[in-house]
Amino acid sequence: MLALALLTGCLQPLTGDSPGEVFEHLWTDFDDHYALFEAKGLDWEAEGEAWRDAAWAAEDDDALHEVLTGLLGPLNDNHVGLFVPDGETPDWRSGSLNGQHQEDFALEVTRALLVEELPSPHRAVTVGWAAEGVGYLHVAQMSGAAARAAEEALAQLDAADALILDLRGNTGGDSPAARDLAGLFATEAAPFVKQRHRELDGPGYSDFEVWTVEPRATRARPTALLTNLWSISAAEWCTLALRTQPHVTQVGVTTAGAFASTVLRDLPNGWLVGLSFSDVRDAEGVSWEGVGLAPDVEVPSGQADLQAGEDPVLAEALALLAAGA
Amino acid sequence: MHLALLAGTLAAAELDLSLRPEVDQVLDPVASPLPYQGVGAPVSAGLRWRGRGPTWALGLSATPSRWTPQGVGPRVYSFERVDAVTGETTTVLVPAPKLAFSGDVHAAATWDLGPLSLGPRLDWQALYTSGAMSMGQWAWSVATLGLRVEARAPWRSRSELGAGLTLPVGGVVTRIPEDYDLVFPDVGTVGAFFQQGSQLASWGHLQQAELELWHRVSLSPIWSVGLDARLRYSRLVDTTTAQRLTSSLGLGATRLLGV
């Protein structure tokens, strides 16, 4: 055991963990791998210069946290966050979600408004009837299992004349699952996303790869797609895919605007930072990063509605579908 | 590795079991600037038998281990949760995951050349964690074809000292791609890992050495026990060079079969 103990710590960190070294590591990591500088029109060199002196002068963790959040703030990217593992410092995000909490949607309130809730094959899927002839499906996460369960659940709604797909509070997951879920409601094959990555040996990018929604719906039923600020990442991929379908209407409020693939990265001092490593556009090449996908029909709601047991977004969707949207 | 023991008295076959503490260290800049260290106890099994010419050996081990970044204490992250209906705020503390899994499989054929045994050896080492390293998925797979050399010598009565060295001449290295992306439209995560992250590697790109030392005592015509130490260093040379150092020290028991 002594021999084993002597062999611990043989591999050394790539860099030191002083505030200045942490700053330089983070800045370089983003310079090498962050994929959205071009889409966001951000001059990373200038951002680094603006904060470098303060980083090297930082004397404690609080000062370093202020510097790093100052550096990352202009990215306006909900996938970029700073996480301090001291069990006290709240998580910080660079985009519109920072300090925000979902106050306009609670699944239990919406479930109580359903005419009938049907058995669900998966805890992330809620299925039922929102009104006579109007099927309701809420998907809480984007995973292969949830997408398969959604297909199974949707089979119970075959008699529906119209459908509601609720992606409020869906914080994302796998992009293939998002494509597969969208396919359950699609009747037309259509490209919906173009994605590219940073080249590893320079500032350039790979070619765009195109993702296409594969139609699996047997007929085009009027469909309301419900979104809010907490429809994030892969949930926004699904939204992009369904916006290609003429029989789908997006209802609610604008999504988070965070489409990129993301990874958490250690910093030399043990903190974690979220980094977006792909550039995701819609089929026309437009980036909605930091902007989000605005609904066709905007319906703001809030905590007062939830406390009253009401869901104005669901109500508006039902009205639209009844009117033949 | 214990399969090399008691070659002079090798019967039809030997079955070997061992349990030993292991310290595994990895530095992969693709995942983290920090070295990670895992402590576990591999369960190993092996079979060795003599054919008409060479002595054949098969072995495998599996290791669940607890991984932490070196120089950083236990990590706990704080997240605020607000009930959408009541507005009540709670703080959720999330400990950083630690579990990782590794496995080794090898097959070798060695010929006796005086006090030495020499021959080719195939090795596959895999390491995977979902959450321990930068709280994300990370994996490492190295499959090699190498040269195995063993030396054995009697020591006192009914015991033996031995040493073995394995040096790969080439192999297939699979790492998380530096652009991290393991999700493509029609390829699963595991398929994408091997499809995107694999490359052929010669000695220039895959520098590895594994040294083993053992002392084995025969307890009876059938059973022997021993103490062994193993040290393996791997260096994958690329735009981001990764290193892994695995060391273990433990006890093993060997049962002669066919006696």
Q: What confidence tens digit (pLDDT) does each residue in B96-117 have?
A: 888 899 999 999 999 999 889 9
Query: What mean pLDDT do residues A165-189 have?
Result: 96
Percent of chain B with pLDDT over 70: 90
Alpha-carbon gap, residue B231 to B171, rounded angstroms: 19
Q: Which pLDDT score, from 0 to 100, does residue B73 have?
A: 74
A111 touching chain B per CB within 8 A:
no
Would the CA dihedral through A111, A114, A117, A120 be positive or negative?
negative
User: pLDDT tens, A222-246?
Assistant: 999 999 999 999 999 999 999 999 9
Query: What mean pLDDT do residues A70-95 have?
Result: 93
- Taking CA–CA distances from A13, the nearest residue in chain B reads B34
Q: Which pLDDT score, from 0 to 100, does residue A93 have?
A: 93
Name every chain A residue with its beta carbon within 8 A of the beta carbon of B77: 83-85, 87, 91, 272
Minimal CA separation from A23 to chain B, in Å:
13
pLDDT at B2 over 50: no
pLDDT band at B180 (very low <50, low <70, confident <90, very high): low
More confident residue, A164 or B93: A164
**Residue A89 has which token pair?**
């410092």
Residue-level length of chain B: 259
Alpha-carbon gap, residue A258 to A315, rounded angstroms: 27
**Interacting residues of B97 by C-beta distance below 8 A, sequence separation 6+:** B129, B130, B131, B132, B135
User: pLDDT tens, A104-131?
Assistant: 999 999 999 999 999 999 999 999 999 9
Query: What mean pLDDT do residues B157-168 have?
Result: 93
Poorest-confidence range of A272-281, B158-167, B181-190, B233-242? B181-190
Query: What mean pLDDT do residues B74-99 have?
Result: 82
Minimal CA separation from A214 to chain B, in Å:
11
State the DSSP code for A207: P
Interface predicted TM-score of the whole assembly (ipTM), two decimals:
0.80
User: pLDDT tens, B16-60?
Assistant: 888 888 999 999 988 889 999 999 988 888 898 887 789 999 999
On whether the CB atoms of residues B126 and B65 are closer than 8 A, the answer is no
Q: Which pLDDT score, from 0 to 100, does residue A81 have?
A: 95
pLDDT at B8 over 50: no
pLDDT at B133 over 80: no
Phi, psi of A235 (to 5 degrees): -65, -30
Sheet holding A209-213, edge to edge: A209-213, A190-197, A278-282
User: pLDDT tens, A256-277?
Assistant: 999 998 888 899 999 999 999 8
pLDDT at A5 over 70: no
Query: What mean pLDDT do residues A282-292 have?
Result: 97
Query: What mean pLDDT do residues B168-178 have?
Result: 87
Name every chain A residue with its beta carbon within 8 A of the beta carbon of B239: 200-201
Minimal CA separation from B183 to chain A, in Å:
8
pLDDT at A210 over 90: yes
When the pLDDT of each residue in chain B is averaged and rounded to a whole number, the result is 85
Q: Which pLDDT score, from 0 to 100, does residue A324 have?
A: 79
- Say yes or no for a CB contact (<8 Å) between A272 and B135: yes
Q: Cα Rg for chain A, rounded, in angstroms?
A: 22
By CB neighbour count within 10 A (0-12 exposed, 13-18 middle, 19+ buried), where does A68 fall?
buried
Report the residue from B96, B136, B181 with minimal CB separation from A197.
B181
Minimal CA separation from A296 to chain B, in Å:
25
Minimal CA separation from A160 to chain B, in Å:
30
- Say yes or no for a CB contact (<8 Å) between B81 and A104: no
For an interface test with A, the pick among B72, B227, B240 (most A C-beta atoms closer than 10 Å) comes out as: B72
Amino acid (one-letter) located at A70: G
On whether the CB atoms of residues A35 and A260 are closer than 8 A, the answer is yes
First to last CA, chain A: 72
Alpha-carbon gap, residue A156 to A119, rounded angstroms: 9
Minimal CA separation from A113 to chain B, in Å:
15
Name every chain B residue with its beta carbon within 8 A of the beta carbon of A104: 84
Q: Which pLDDT score, from 0 to 100, does residue A72 have?
A: 98
Q: Name the nearest CA neighbour of A288 among A259, A248, A324, A249.
A: A259
Name every chain B residue with its beta carbon within 8 A of the beta carbon of A79: none
- Say yes or no for a CB contact (<8 Å) between B35 and A303: no
- Say yes or no for a CB contact (<8 Å) between B134 and A88: no
Q: Which pLDDT score, from 0 to 100, does residue B250 have?
A: 85
Q: What angle do CA A57, A58, A62 make, to 5 degrees?
A: 165
Task: Name the H helices within A123-219.
Answer: 144-154, 175-183
Q: Which pLDDT score, from 0 to 100, does residue A113 have?
A: 98
Residues 162-201 of A with CB under 8 A from B: 174-176, 179, 197-198, 200-201
- Say yes or no for a CB contact (<8 Å) between B185 and A176: yes
- Say yes or no for a CB contact (<8 Å) between B247 and A3: yes
- Say yes or no for a CB contact (<8 Å) between B231 and A7: yes
For an interface test with A, the pick among B79, B80, B183 (most A C-beta atoms closer than 10 Å) comes out as: B183
pLDDT at B75 over 80: yes
Percent of chain B with pLDDT over 90: 40
Query: What mean pLDDT do residues A249-253 have?
Result: 98
**Residue A98 has which token pair?**
């920072």
Q: Which pLDDT score, from 0 to 100, does residue A255 have?
A: 97
Name every chain A residue with its beta carbon within 8 A of the beta carbon of B73: 270
Q: Which pLDDT score, from 0 to 100, does residue A317 have?
A: 98
pLDDT at B189 over 90: no
Q: Which pLDDT score, from 0 to 100, does residue B164 have?
A: 96
By CB neighbour count within 10 A (0-12 exposed, 13-18 middle, 19+ buried), where does A31 fall?
middle
User: pLDDT tens, B217-241?
Assistant: 999 989 999 999 999 999 998 878 9
Minimal CA separation from A78 to chain B, in Å:
15
